[in-house]
Amino acid sequence: MRLKLISVLTTLAIGSMTAQAAVTEKMIEDSAKTGTEVLTSGLGTQGQRFSVLKQVNTSNVARLVPAWAFSFGGEKQRGQESQPLIHDGKMFVTASYSRIYALDAATGKKLWKYEQRLPDGIMPCCDVVNRGAALFGNLVIFATLDAQLVALDQNTGDVVWKEKVADYNAGYSESAAPLIANGLLLTGVSGGEFGVVGRVEARDPMTGRLVWSRPTVEGHMGYTYDADGTKHENGISGTTNQTWPGDLWKTGGAAPWLGGTYDPKTGLAYFGTGNPAPWNSHLRQGDNLFSCSTVAIDVKTGKIVWHYQGTPNDGWDFDGVNEFITFDMNGKRMGAKADRNGFFYVLDAKNGHLQNAFPFVKKITWASGIDLKTGRPNFIDSDRPGDPTASADGKKGSSVFSAPSFLGGKNQMPMAYSPQTGLFYVPANEWGMEIWNEPITYKKGAAYLGAGFTIKTIHDDYIGALRAIDPKTGKIVWEVKNSAPLWGGVLTTAGGLVFWGTPEGYLKAADARTGKVVWQFQTGSGVVAPPVTWMENGQQYVSVVSGWGGAVPLWGGEVAKKVNFLEQGGMVWVFKLTGGAPAKVASN
């Protein structure tokens, strides 16, 4: 009897502890306002990557020193593009090859690790990366390279549910952090280079049960699902064959591989979509919706409420996946996106109407500008790679030099927005490419490009540039150049700081108003991941994952040669202020 009572009390205690720790929709919304925990990718579902914390600020950042570091270990390194999450004294951080670790956030002590057993046949186009997890209830949920979702108990690391999203044999994979929006788990898919069909899906985060599915290639049917799995048609995405010739839409790509953002004020989730497949644009005359677009999806119904297409009939692999960050400007809810195609767009977040568009890189060859009335680019026709069927042997179209390169004015590395300065902090790259088209036919699980390319540098002294950009004027307020291409994301804080990493291994901090670099630390390998900050026991911590890799060394052509001295790695670094003497700030 007595034993029974103790066991009941213990159960109650554990029950209430779990209830206290369980992540709710409200906690996620509040976390962006308090900054004490990091409950989502993007430090809030809007993805602003702005923290209200200011214990670490421009006057004391020189005293930032390592608190702890943790190695992902093993023989598996490659690109580490993950953003850590912080909850209940724990850090949840994913690593290359679909691994996830839970660490004590104050000490770095390992609590548990989960490693997905990956089949040999996976086909990630651009390295074996993972960009982070999502938290909901007592679960931490992440996506894997074999196109599955895995939900683990935050305390034990035990698998609570696991769902197959798509067929990795057809080229599908997953690397983005899932998004919690209005109590649902939202995910995209990767695989645009293999002719997959892009889609956004919503699930019950506690069980993995599918709630709705919304294809992002025009012509495909959307579905909703009952609790028992019964499937209902939820309307065709767009109008079949309106913007795609023949059967091309059946393998049309448009993969929303970088995940999405969500604004509770509009009730919309914003997903960017990748290139239409194949790359050879002459095979698919038309706009090829909804490729290279931002799609705004009503989270409750799974319907596309509006879309904005940055690159209609893309011929340069300008995936429009880049994050759409909502913010307030001129008293209205806007959204901003620095597109891979080199243009920065400001749209009305409710209806998608274009408000402003301007270049955020200095060399753009494929369009002379964006028509603010129609929202369409003014194409420079001579910069589209030539049609192979027009060549003498029909095997290779005329080659053109294009900028940006297909690796983009910006790629997967997320920018940040500071409501304090009203500026966006954009990790930009200046580079170009030789690109040409070739004939291609679809074959399941094979690369579906119909193009060849070589990435080229434009300037001898730099490729990367962290730029502070005014969304109202399009002005670059300041920039910090970087020799190697920037590939990590950005964090900005109420302490007046901007943090970002470089492939050369530095985590840097600059004054958000002036761009003056006020602190840097060498992490021992290239940084291609976004930093975070949080509070633990009254102390502000800053963290970033280090580990060189990603698309640049795999696809970078002449640029890859320029960065091939960089070493791989796999570490989480965590920093806090020390009371000691200010650390010396090395020159830029």
Establish if 319 lies at the interface with Ca ion (CB under 5 A): yes
Nearer to Ca ion, 224 or 411 (CB): 411
Instruction: Please tell me the distance from the alpha carbon of residue 201 to that of residue 297, in angstroms, as a whole number.
Output: 11
| Closest to 427 (Cα-Cα) out of 465, 396, 378, 389 | 465
Binding mask 164-193 for Ca ion (x = CB under 5 A): ----------------------------x-
Establish if 163 lies at the interface with Ca ion (CB under 5 A): no
Tokens representing 396 are 């290779």
For residue 289, the Cα-to-chain-centroid distance in whole angstroms is 21
Q: Do residues 250 and 241 lie in contact, with contact meaning Cβ atoms separated by under 8 Å?
A: no
Nearer to Ca ion, 287 or 314 (CB): 314
| Closest to 468 (Cα-Cα) out of 435, 510, 408 | 510
> Scanning the structure block, which residue is given the tokens 């009503």?
298
Angle of CA points 278, 295, 530, to nearest 5°: 85
Please choose, out of 314-322, 382-390, 428-436, 537-545, the segment that lies near Ca ion by the rule CB under 5 A. 314-322
Q: How far is the CB of 280 from Ca ion (least distance, A)?
A: 13
- 80, containing H or E segment: none
Nearer to Ca ion, 126 or 347 (CB): 126
- Residue with the CB atom nearest Ca ion in the bound state: 275
Give the SS3 label for residue 429: strand
Q: How far is the CB of 275 from Ca ion (least distance, A)?
A: 4
Tokens representing 364 are 């753009």
Q: How far is the CB of 422 from Ca ion (least distance, A)?
A: 32
Establish if 317 lies at the interface with Ca ion (CB under 5 A): yes
Residue type, 488: G
Residues 6+ apart with CB under 8 A from 50: 32, 43, 44, 416, 417, 418, 419, 420, 492, 493, 494
Establish if 412 lies at the interface with Ca ion (CB under 5 A): no
Q: How far is the CB of 314 from Ca ion (least distance, A)?
A: 9
Instruction: Please tell me the distance from the alpha carbon of residue 570 to that of residue 95, in angstroms, as a whole number.
Output: 8
Give bridge partners of residue 400 from the DSSP assignment. Answer: 435
Instruction: Please tell me the distance from the alpha carbon of residue 85 to that of residue 134, in angstroms, as a whole number.
Output: 8
Nearer to Ca ion, 305 or 447 (CB): 447
Nearer to Ca ion, 49 or 410 (CB): 410
Residues 6+ apart with CB under 8 A from 197: 215, 217, 220, 250, 251, 252, 253, 254
E strands of 393-530, at which residues?
Answer: 400-402, 416-418, 423-429, 431-437, 451-457, 464-469, 476-482, 490-493, 497-501, 506-511, 517-522
Q: How far is the CB of 307 from Ca ion (least distance, A)?
A: 18
Q: How far is the CB of 252 from Ca ion (least distance, A)?
A: 12
Q: How far is the CB of 447 from Ca ion (least distance, A)?
A: 11
Q: How far is the CB of 279 from Ca ion (least distance, A)?
A: 8
Instruction: Please tell me the distance from the alpha carbon of residue 84 to that of residue 90, in angstroms, as a whole number.
Output: 10
Tokens representing 222 are 């959307």
E strands of 331-430, at which residues?
Answer: 332-338, 343-348, 354-359, 367-370, 377-379, 400-402, 416-418, 423-429
Of the candidates 127, 263, 314, 317, the residue annotated as catalytic is: 317
Q: With CB under 5 A, what is the number of residues at the site for Ca ion?
A: 5
Chain residues 554-583 in contact with Ca ion, contact rule CB under 5 A: none
Q: How far is the CB of 198 from Ca ion (least distance, A)?
A: 11
> Scanning the structure block, which residue is given the tokens 């209609």?
312
Chain residues 191-210 in contact with Ca ion, contact rule CB under 5 A: 192
Give bridge partners of residue 509 from the DSSP assignment. Answer: 499, 519
Nearer to Ca ion, 275 or 492 (CB): 275
| Closest to 525 (Cα-Cα) out of 572, 481, 574, 566 | 566
Establish if 275 lies at the interface with Ca ion (CB under 5 A): yes
Nearer to Ca ion, 192 or 208 (CB): 192
| Closest to 59 (Cα-Cα) out of 425, 509, 419, 417 | 509
Q: How far is the CB of 253 from Ca ion (least distance, A)?
A: 7
Q: Do residues 335 and 313 lie in contact, with contact meaning Cβ atoms separated by under 8 Å?
A: no
To the query of whether residue 167 is one of the catalytic residues in this protein, the response is: no
Q: What are the backbone angles phi and psi of residue 75, rounded to the nearest 5°? A: -95, -5
Nearer to Ca ion, 256 or 274 (CB): 274
Nearer to Ca ion, 448 or 462 (CB): 448
Instruction: Please tell me the distance from the alpha carbon of residue 152 to that of residue 161, in angstroms, as a whole number.
Output: 7
Binding mask 255-274 for Ca ion (x = CB under 5 A): -------------------x
Please choose, out of 96-104, 316-324, 348-356, 477-485, the segment that lies near Ca ion by the rule CB under 5 A. 316-324
Residues 6+ apart with CB under 8 A from 307: 289, 290, 293, 294, 295, 296, 352
Instruction: Please tell me the distance from the alpha carbon of residue 543 to that of residue 561, in angstroms, as a whole number.
Output: 30
Nearer to Ca ion, 166 or 545 (CB): 166
Q: Do residues 215 and 223 lie in contact, with contact meaning Cβ atoms separated by under 8 Å?
A: no
Q: How far is the CB of 125 from Ca ion (least distance, A)?
A: 7
Tokens representing 370 are 């964006």
Instruction: Please tell me the distance from the alpha carbon of residue 69 to that of residue 80, in angstroms, as a whole number.
Output: 15
Nearer to Ca ion, 263 or 339 (CB): 339
By annotation, the residues acting in catalysis are 317
Chain positions contacting Ca ion, by CB under 5 A: 192, 274-275, 317, 319
